[in-house]
Amino acid sequence: METYLFYIFSFITVWTVILMILQKNPIASATCLVISFFSLAALFALLNAHFVAVLQILVYAGAIMVLFIFVIMLLNLKKSELMHEKMSRLSFFAIIIGLGLFSFLMMKFFLIPQIFFGEISPSFGTAQEVGQSMFTQYAIPFELIGILLLVGIIGAVLLGRKDTD
């Protein structure tokens, strides 16, 4: 069962990402990306990471992609403008770079011994366990992320502000 689910969701994820790259219309790209985020959340759930899976939907599908679609609607692009987009001259090289990186990663990954996933503790992936780890072992990175978010908020406000002077 889990095997089938993995193949179904990974197929959906990869296919929607490819579609996203090929679509001319940014809204269509964004919708494809939302679907791929959902199937990624399902993959996280298959990996017993329920907390991260729900956060994936909450943060990516619920906030980041809404922001993207909001900006696309705000800019309200004309159709003609979208259609004249040319593919980069680097396309060929891009694919070569992508395949090269992929094969390099494969070489590295297959150094990891091939074992099936072991047994896990019942509390694995719950909010309690992740939170415990986040606020003890990773307390300093957590604070730094907080500062990063603050900087992000200030930066976004400054960028989005209309010039008043």
Partner 1 sequence: MTEITIHHYLILSALLFCLGLIGVIVRKNLLVMLMCIEVMMNAINLTFVALARYFNTPDGHVMAIFVMAIAAVEAAIGLGIVIMIFRNKESIQADDYRSMKG
Partner 2 sequence: MPETLITILKIIIPFAIIFTFVPLLVWLERKGSAYIQDRPGPNRAAVLGIRLGGLIHPIADVVKLIFKEDICPSQANKAYYIAAPFIALSVACVTFMVIPFAAPYTRDGHIFTFQAAQLNVGVLYILAMTSLSVYGIMLAGWSSNNKYALLGGLRSSAQMVSYELAMGLALIPLIMWSGSLRLNDIVTLQTAQVWRWNFIYEPLACIIFIIAAFAETNRTPFDLPEGESELVAGYHVEYSSLKFAMFFMAEYVNMVIASALIVTLFFGGWQIPFLPTEVLRENAQMILNIVLTVSALLAIIIGFFLILKFKKRTYGDKRDYEVIVLGIPAVLAGFTLILFLLFFGKIPLSTTAELWITAILQIGTFLFKTLFMCWVFIWVRWTVPRTRYDQLMNLGWKILLPLAMVNIVITAVRMLLK
Q: Which two tokens stand for residue 84?
A: 């004249």
- Residue pair 2/43 in contact (Cβ under 8 Å)? The answer is no
Which residues contact residue 88 at a Cβ distance below 8 angstroms, ignoring those fewer than 6 apart?
A: 94
Per CB under 8 A, which of residues 42..61 are in contact with partner 2? 50-51, 54-55, 57-58, 61
Q: Least Å distance between CB 57 and partner 2? A: 4
Q: Which two tokens stand for residue 152?
A: 């992000």
Residue 39 interacting with partner 1 (CB under 8 A)? no
**DSSP letter, residue 89:** T
Residue 116 interacting with partner 1 (CB under 8 A)? yes
60 binding partner (options partner 1, partner 2, none; Cβ < 5 to 8 Å by kind): partner 1
Helix axes 26-46, 2-22, angle to 10 degrees: 160
Residues found near partner 2 in the complex (CB under 8 A): 27, 31, 34, 50-51, 54-55, 57-58, 61-63, 66-67, 69-70, 73-74, 76, 126-127
